[in-house]
Amino acid sequence: MGNIASVALWCAATDFRTFLASRIVGGLSEGNVQLAMAIATDISSDEDRGKTMAMVGACFSIAFTFGPALGAALSQVTIVAANPFAAAAGFSLFLIVTETIYLYIALPETHPPNQPAVNGAAKEEKSVVEPTKRTNSHALLNLVHFSFILFFSGMEFSLPFMTYDLFGYGSKESGKLLGFIGLVASVLQGAVVRRMNPLKIVQLGVLSCAGAFIILAKVENERGLYIAATLLAVTSSTVVTGLNSLSSFEASSNERGEKLGNHRSFGQVGRAIGPILFCTLYWWAGRDMAYFTGAAGMFGVCAIVLGSLKNPVGLKLKHTSEKANGGVAVK
């Protein structure tokens, strides 16, 4: 409902203040994304957690592949002179209303509340929750998420400036570049990432991101740009998905919504601060300084990921059981 209100405001926006109000309402409604992650953990076993998270991530990548292109096409259709983007906003409203109706009808509750027993006492519908053996602290995972998003989002927001400065990219060329990143990311998540250990995919992603920063600092041709874009696609398909999986392994079933919500909140703080700091550095000190600074920060994230994060206890127990039973997982 918050997203519906946000896009409805966008449809009616004929001045910047109304559009800004639309984005504020949309930002306050961001919790639905983490609820989707919490639902994914509710319906998946420990053995399938990584696969499920990767499939959710693949859906995001596919959407980010076609969504910007669709929005760019609809922005060329003028139906309200005072709001050139009314067609795109109207179609977005149609999609979100359709989605909301579908969720209301088809999505069951995956974490039911306490049910009253016959004698009036509260009774848990689920079995007794066993305490989770934690390997990585939530504080450490949240720090990694914040730090990664801080640098990654800053680079992400500065990329259109850089491609315009170097290659004269307009909306069409930028759309192709973003579409390429989204397409590669969705293929990786659907075919590769869902089969990998979550810690390994986080490690792969942050190393790829550091490499992309270094290439972007010195890139002079479109071939180099697309090599960096491929590394960014690897990053997009791995880090957040893997961190969400790791965070879910460290939470009991009755606290996953809270822990995953906190985890995403740290990332959102990084997303709010990163573009301001990075783009300011880009315009003040230049591309080389901005991207080399980003690379240094990302290597710091790599040091934490490679030196401090460990495989969750649940995964270790799973692999031990598989080896003891000839490769057959014990549930």
Which tens digits make up the pLDDT trace of 117-173? 445 444 444 444 444 567 889 999 999 999 999 999 999 889 988 999 999 988 778
Give the fold, CATH level 3, of 44-74+136-311: Growth Hormone; Chain: A; (1.20.1250)
pLDDT at 329 over 90: no
Where are the domains positioned within the chain? Answer: 44-74+136-311
- Pull the structure tokens for residue 64: 């980010």
> pLDDT, tens digit, for every residue of 190-212?
788 878 888 999 999 999 999 99
pTM of the model: 0.75
- Pull the structure tokens for residue 240: 């957040």
State the CB neighbour count (10 A cutoff) for residue 270: 20
* 3-class secondary structure per residue, the chain: CHHHHHHHHHHHCCCHHHHHHHHHHHHHCCHHHHHHHHHHHHCCCCCCHHHHHHHHHHHHHHHHHHHHHHHHHHCCCCCCCCCCCHHHHHHHHHHHHHHHHHHHHHCCCCCCCCEECCCCCEECCCCCCCCCCCCCCHHHHHHHHHHHHHHHHHHHHHHHHHHHHHHCCCHHHHHHHHHHHHHHHHHHHHHCHHHCCHHHHHHHHHHHHHHHHHHHHHCCCHHHHHHHHHHHHHHHHHHHHHHHHHHHHCCCCCCHHHHHHHHHHHHHHHHHHHHHHHHHHHHHHCHHHHHHHHHHHHHHHHHHHHHHCCCCHHHHHHHHHHHHCCCCCCC
The pLDDT assigned to 86 comes to: 85
State the CB neighbour count (10 A cutoff) for residue 95: 14
Confidence tier at 241 by pLDDT (50, 70, 90): confident
Beta bridge partner(s), residue 122: 116
* Among the listed residues 237, 240, 241, the one whose alpha carbon sits nearest the alpha carbon of residue 53: 241
Lowest mean pLDDT: which of 65-74, 218-227, 279-288?
65-74
Beta bridge partner(s), residue 115: 123
State the CB neighbour count (10 A cutoff) for residue 84: 13
> pLDDT, tens digit, for every residue of 59-118?
877 887 788 778 878 877 877 777 778 888 899 999 999 999 999 999 888 876 655 544
The pLDDT assigned to 255 comes to: 77
Could you tell me the maximum CA-CA distance found in the chain, to the nearest angstrom?
74
